[in-house]
Chain A
Amino acid sequence: GNSVTQMEGPVTLSEEAFLTINCTYTATGYPSLFWYVQYPGEGLQLLLKATKADDKGSNKGFEATYRKETTSFHLEKGSVQVSDSAVYFCALSLNSGYSTLTFGKGTMLLVSP
C-alpha cells in the first residue's frame, strides 16, 4: 500500500534558523506529493505540491523537491519565523483513478523569538 514517513517532532528552532523536515514515501503507483500545514485550532491548509519527479513546489518561503530516486519530498525554509509554528503534514495521492490522500503523522514545528 501507500505510506508516508515523516521525522518525529517537535522540531524546535530559533527565529531565522534553517528548517528541514524530512519526508519519504512508498507508493503503489505514480504519486503527487503535498505538504499541508495546520495552525493551532484550525484545519489543514495546502502549503505546496509537486506532481512529477524533479518538480519543486514553493510557497511562503517554503520549498520541497520531488525526488523519485530517493522517494523523498523534504520541506525546507531558509529563515523561519515565529508565525511558522504549526504542524506540518506530508501527503501523497496517486496520479490515477480516484485517489485518496495518504498522510504522514505530522511534525510539530516550534519557533522561538
Chain B
Amino acid sequence: NAGVTQTPKFQVLKTGQSMTLQCAQDMNHEYMSWYRQDPGMGLRLIHYSVGAGITDQGEVPNGYNVSRSTTEDFPLRLLSAAPSQTSVYFCASSYARTGGGYGYTFGSGTRLTVV
C-alpha cells in the first residue's frame, strides 16, 4: 500500500547511544518532515526537506540530524540520545509547491524511550 513507512515502531535507548529512525514514502512526494509529539505540546517540527539534497531546520532541531539522498527516504539520526528525546516521532510527506492546500500523509510513528 502506498504511504509513509516508519521503522522501528518502538525503541528503547540508553543515554548516549545513537540510532537512526527510518522513514520511506512511495508517493513521489518532494516534501518530507519529522515531527515529535509530546503530551500537552502538540506536534513540533524537527527538520524538513523540500527535495533530495535539501534539508532545513524546524522548531526543535537540536540533537537531531537528517539527510535526504533520495526522494523516497528521509532518516532521522540521534547522535547521542538524551532522556529529553523520549517522545513519539512522526514522519510526514506531501507535494511541495506554491500553494499550501495539500494535506500531509503521516507514518504510524516511532515511540522512543531514552533511559
Question: Which A residues contact B (CB, under 8 angstroms)?
Answer: 31-32, 34, 36, 42-46, 49, 51, 89, 93-101, 103-106
> What's the Cα separation between A49 and B100 when bound, in Å?
11
Interface size of B by CB at 8 A reads 27
> What's the Cα separation between A51 and B98 when bound, in Å?
13
With a cutoff of 8 Å between Cβ atoms, the chain A residues found around residue B42 in the complex are 89, 103-106
With a cutoff of 8 Å between Cβ atoms, the chain A residues found around residue B104 in the complex are 44, 46, 101
B43 x A98 contact (CB < 8 A): no
Question: Which B residues contact A (CB, under 8 angstroms)?
Answer: 4, 31, 33, 35, 40-45, 48, 50, 58, 90, 92, 96, 98-101, 103-109
> What's the Cα separation between A104 and B37 when bound, in Å?
11
A95 x B100 contact (CB < 8 A): yes
Inter-chain residue pair count (beta carbon < 8 A)? 62
Closest to A52 in B: B101
With a cutoff of 8 Å between Cβ atoms, the chain A residues found around residue B100 in the complex are 31-32, 51, 93-96, 99
Supposing A43-B90, A44-B90, A103-B42 touch, asked if A96 and B103 sit within 8 A by C-beta, the answer is no
B107 x A43 contact (CB < 8 A): yes
With a cutoff of 8 Å between Cβ atoms, the chain A residues found around residue B98 in the complex are 95-97
Query: What 8 pairs between A and B have smallest CB-CB spacing?
Result: A46-B103, A93-B100, A51-B101, A105-B42, A43-B106, A103-B43, A32-B100, A44-B106
A98 x B96 contact (CB < 8 A): yes
B41 x A105 contact (CB < 8 A): yes
> What's the Cα separation between A45 and B104 when bound, in Å?
8
Closest to B50 in A: A98
> What's the Cα separation between A22 and B15 when bound, in Å?
40
User: Contact check: which of B45, B50, B96, B108 meets A43 at CB < 8 Å?
Assistant: B108
A100 x B48 contact (CB < 8 A): yes
> What's the Cα separation between A43 and B89 when bound, in Å?
10
Closest to B109 in A: A43
With a cutoff of 8 Å between Cβ atoms, the chain A residues found around residue B107 in the complex are 43
With a cutoff of 8 Å between Cβ atoms, the chain A residues found around residue B96 in the complex are 98
Closest to B4 in A: A43
